[in-house]
Amino acid sequence: MATRSPLPPLATLGPLIALVLAVAFFATQSDRFLSVQNFSLILQQVMVVGTIAIGQTLIILTAGIDLSCGMVMALGGIVMTKLATTAGMNPYAAVACGMLVCMGFGLVNGLLVTRIRLPSFIVTLGTMNIAFAVTQLYSGAQTITDLPPEMVFFGSTFTIGGAAINYGTLLMIALYAFTWWALRDTQPGRHIYAVGNNPEATRLTGIATDKVLLMVYVTAGLFYGIASLLSVARTGVGDPNAGQTENLDAITAVVLGGTSLFGGRGIVLGSLLGALIVGVFRNGLTLMGVPSVYQVLITGVLVILAVTTDQLSRRGAR
């Protein structure tokens, strides 16, 4: 009667297959696509969204969602750059302050969700607007330039075998590896899955679900803070209008990566794959000379495919 556990659901193999297919396709369309240099470039281009997506994955695993991620990231970037330039603060301290601000927003989101029991969609809709306004006000709607060199370290590269590898992408990959391990092998990580899969059951077994959720939101804020440093390092400026498309892009990456919006299922590495898929399409289409609007169209189609595959594979497993 007992069935063997099935292969990993299509939802997790899916993004890998899609990525491989996309890479194969673009390799045939342009001889400039398949090179270490180009892949290093794509990784750099998805590094900010990819890091935001780690935090977003944690929240979506608990069956929540964070609409404020991009805006909070932008605020973190403005805080750290403004403190380092106008206020003359030590750059490391300024970076820490920026990250703390992001974690603060995470804490606010988490408290509203756990104490007042508001749905995360609504809470983060509100904090998204608040973060955006605070960013505009604090920056005076101006970009902040002339940053100290320490702050843009993660934008710089080193060469290995003729290819330029970016420090920021190494950091992102390290963060993904750590988060993947923590979600798989540590108690807090498993509890995140449990809370998302069946919050009532988890509560009944004695796990402090509210503490788990609070930890998730604050940790997500930390990842947004790291993403803001990577964004600042990549562009070399503090941009108050950063992060606006990253909001939905991060959620897209998580969904394409096979994490279920209903919580409790998904692998964080999938979000990296999801971000890479979008990056590969954007890069590949530009190399082919195709207008950027098609990239948007394809992303929309992929999202629908990803969610449909997830639903069908789940029905098939029963």
Chain residues that interact with another protein, rule: CB under 8 A: 1-6, 30, 32, 37-38, 41, 44-45, 48, 136, 140-143, 145, 155, 157, 164, 182, 185-188, 190, 193-194, 197-198, 200-202, 204-207, 231, 234-237, 239-242, 245, 264-265, 282-283, 286-287, 289, 291-293, 317-318
Nearer to another protein, 90 or 241 (CB): 241
Nearer to another protein, 15 or 240 (CB): 240
DSSP reduced 3-state for 62? coil
Smallest gap from Cβ 93 to another protein, in A, equals 24
Measured in degrees and rounded to the nearest 5, phi and psi for residue 259 equal: -80, 135
Residue 155 has what DSSP assignment?
Answer: G
Dihedral in degrees, nearest 10, Cα atoms 55, 182, 206, 259: 50
Smallest gap from Cβ 104 to another protein, in A, equals 23
Residues in the chain: 318
Nearer to another protein, 114 or 244 (CB): 244
Nearer to another protein, 149 or 289 (CB): 289
Smallest gap from Cβ 172 to another protein, in A, equals 16
Cβ partners under 8 Å of residue 301, min gap 6: none
Residue type, 16: L
Smallest gap from Cβ 305 to another protein, in A, equals 22
75 and 131 in contact (C-beta within 8 Å)? yes
Nearer to another protein, 104 or 236 (CB): 236
Smallest gap from Cβ 178 to another protein, in A, equals 10
Going from the C-alpha of 219 to that of each of 65, 109, 216, 304, the distances in angstroms are 14, 11, 5, 29
Residue 140 has what DSSP assignment?
Answer: T
Q: Which of 165, 168, 164, 175 is nearest to 154 (CA)?
A: 168
